[in-house]
Amino acid sequence: MGDFENSPNDKSGVITADEYKEKANAFFKEQQYDKAIEYYSKAIELDPKNAIYYSNRSFAYLKTEAFGFALADATKAVELQKSYTKAYYRRATAYMALGKFKLALRDYEAVHKACPNDKDARLKYNECNKLVKKLAFEKAIAVNEVKKSVVDSINFDSITIEEDYSGPALEDGKVTEKFIKDLLATYKQQGKLHRKYAYKILFDVKSYFMEQPSLIDVTIEDNEKFTVCGDIHGQFYDLMNIFELNGLPSPTNPYLFNGDFVDRGSFSVECIFTLFSFKLLYPEKFFMSRGNHESHTMNQMYGFEGEVRSKYTAQMADLFTEVYNWLPLAHCLNKRVLVMHGGLFAKDGVKLDDIRSIDRNRQPPEEGLMCDLLWSDPQNAEGRAPSKRGVGIQFGPDVTKAFIEENGLDYIVRSHEVKSEGYEVAHNEKCITVFSAPNYCDTMGNKGAFITLRGKDMKPKFTSYTAVPHPDIKPMAYANPLLSLIA
């Protein structure tokens, strides 16, 4: 039920609409999803009562992670054609992507009832039903017990290191340059860090982040080069390529990684332990912001939790959730450039001190400052609009201008969106997007990019690069099977 559909050319006026749809289908097959959306939209303009057009466009929106728009289109298709099972599938997938599992279950149930002999429909219904029951059980337990940290439940000293282990080793319990060198070499050969060292890194990095504010002020010296990277999404070999191109992090080569280190790519464990190790080695010269994928719901759906369970334990997956809750939400560079993963806010008048005072030790809420920092996107139109993602908002050039003027900033940098060149300069050069995962999910064909700037003038310089080969493990290999439509 994952394919898009063709509709018959049997009504006056529909032929032209169908021609648009055929062009859209061709763009979809070539993975040019934005073009597909454009042509499905033209078909809808000419024939706004055709459920297939909305359903096909919903599918394209799913591919571009515009889950809010995908949800709206699938709902419209259902309204136009109550028996249209593909539309229910697409709406369920959008609900799953947004973490609205009960609503997804309702749609999977509708498909299962309409197609009782369809094995895929039955599988998806059963999987979603299990997930909803599991979450309800966990919620019931949580009400009746005081939530203990995973750190308190692990007897670290009892974890033994086997005699035949020859991988990277912490020195006196600390990350060193040698440890990181050995770690990177091990990961490149698809080796594994011992769970004892993995737990120690997580304990230590959690303790460090707990002491940090929600907004970190970063000082960059006049002639110091500073690098900002966007989403990595578990693409470890592309992360290594960044270090090849731009040098390893060091006291003289500082970096900021701007969220979404994990999920989708199937080397997320390697990415996050690499980044956390650099954070512990160079805490004042290596920075990490939280992204919308550093959250329990996203990790549950998009592969990180499954990958941690596969390579380590379910307990470690829970510990990652605790660590992510303490990641800073934004960084201010030389009091001139604000860097956050998503974007600006649903209301005017937000000050940097408002960001500093956010209570971030929690799962991202569905609205408010923390939500907007992690989820929002820029738009070309003035003002604000509901988000294409179904979470956060879209903000225009006037919103950016007002925010930077009110806070005495030069511009903002954010990530969160695939860009063909790996970056985009928008809003009269006041809003920059940087995305560092090239050929995202092995399908998008985009370049990755990073930004370098110097403290003297804070002018951004962009470096784009293409994807490098990686071992034959597909993206989303550890993801929830219910997301197979958008894998």
d(CA 357, CA 425): 29
Residues 6+ apart with CB under 8 A from 487: 441, 475, 476, 479
d(CA 270, CA 118): 38
Residues 6+ apart with CB under 8 A from 401: 427, 428, 430
For residue 347, the SS3 value is: coil
Determine which one of 293, 296, 427, 470 is catalytic. Answer: 293
In the residue annotation, 233 being an active-site residue is answered as no
Contact 345, 369 (CB under 8 A): yes
**What string of DSSP letters covers 26-42?**
HHHHTT-HHHHHHHHHH
Q: Buried (b) or exposed (e) across 147-160, using 16+ Cβ within 10 A?
A: eeebeeebeeeeee
Residues 6+ apart with CB under 8 A from 106: none
238, two tokens? 């592309």
For residue 228, the SS3 value is: strand
Contact 364, 370 (CB under 8 A): yes
For 459, other C-beta atoms within 10 Å of its C-beta total 11
d(CA 359, CA 29): 44
Place of tokens 């470690």: 316
d(CA 108, CA 288): 38
Q: Is 13 exposed, middle or buried (0-12, 13-18, 19+ CB in 10 A)?
A: exposed
d(CA 310, CA 325): 22
Length of the chain: 487
Q: What is the DSSP letter of 397?
A: H
Whole-angstrom CA distances from 342 to 93, 121, 134, 218, 378 are 22, 35, 30, 19, 9
d(CA 428, CA 471): 41
Whole-angstrom CA distances from 139 to 96, 129, 295 are 18, 15, 17
Residues with a catalytic annotation lie at: 293
